[in-house]
Amino acid sequence: SQQGEEDPQALSIQEGENATMNCSYKTSINNLQWYRQNSGRGLVHLILIRSNEREKHSGRLRVTLDTSKKSSSLLITASRAADTASYFCATVWRDDKIIFGKGTRLHILP
């Protein structure tokens, strides 16, 4: 399978702690995207990082990309209850094909 694989599948942390999720993939990509999905809702785009970029920030989110290791990480700092959701990475191939991973279910404990 060429899809991105998130790790871990599930993560529970205390509110205020940092959460790190990883995504690995198997083939060359044009860009990698992270999305959040709250229960019963559609996916919401978080960050797009291109293959020539190594790090991007957006508020409390930090995404890194290591094309030599074919992996990316999403860091959420100072987690809040509202961050409880599933997080997906999506890899966009050179031919514009997009493949979503199976997601990491993040639960923020009060």
Partner 1 sequence: DTAVSQTPKYLVTQMGNDKSIKCEQNLGHDTMYWYKQDSKKFLKIMFSYNNKELIINETVPNRFSPKSPDKAHLNLHINSLELGDSAVYFCASSRGGRETQYFGPGTRLLVL
Return residues touching partner 1 (CB under 8 A). Answer: 30-31, 33, 35, 37, 40-45, 48, 86, 88, 90, 92, 96-100, 102-103
The DSSP code for 103 is: -
Question: Which residue, 13 or 99, is less far from partner 1 as judged by CB?
Answer: 99
CB of 20 to partner 1, least distance (A): 20
CB of residue 91 to partner 1, shortest distance in Å: 11
42 burial level (CB within 10 Å; 0-12, 13-18, 19+) = exposed
User: By C-beta, is 73 or 91 nearer to partner 1?
Assistant: 91
CB of 62: closest distance to partner 1 in angstroms?
Answer: 18
Encoded amino acid at 65, one letter: L
Side chain identity at residue 74, one-letter code: L
Q: Is 14 exposed, middle or buried (0-12, 13-18, 19+ CB in 10 A)?
A: exposed
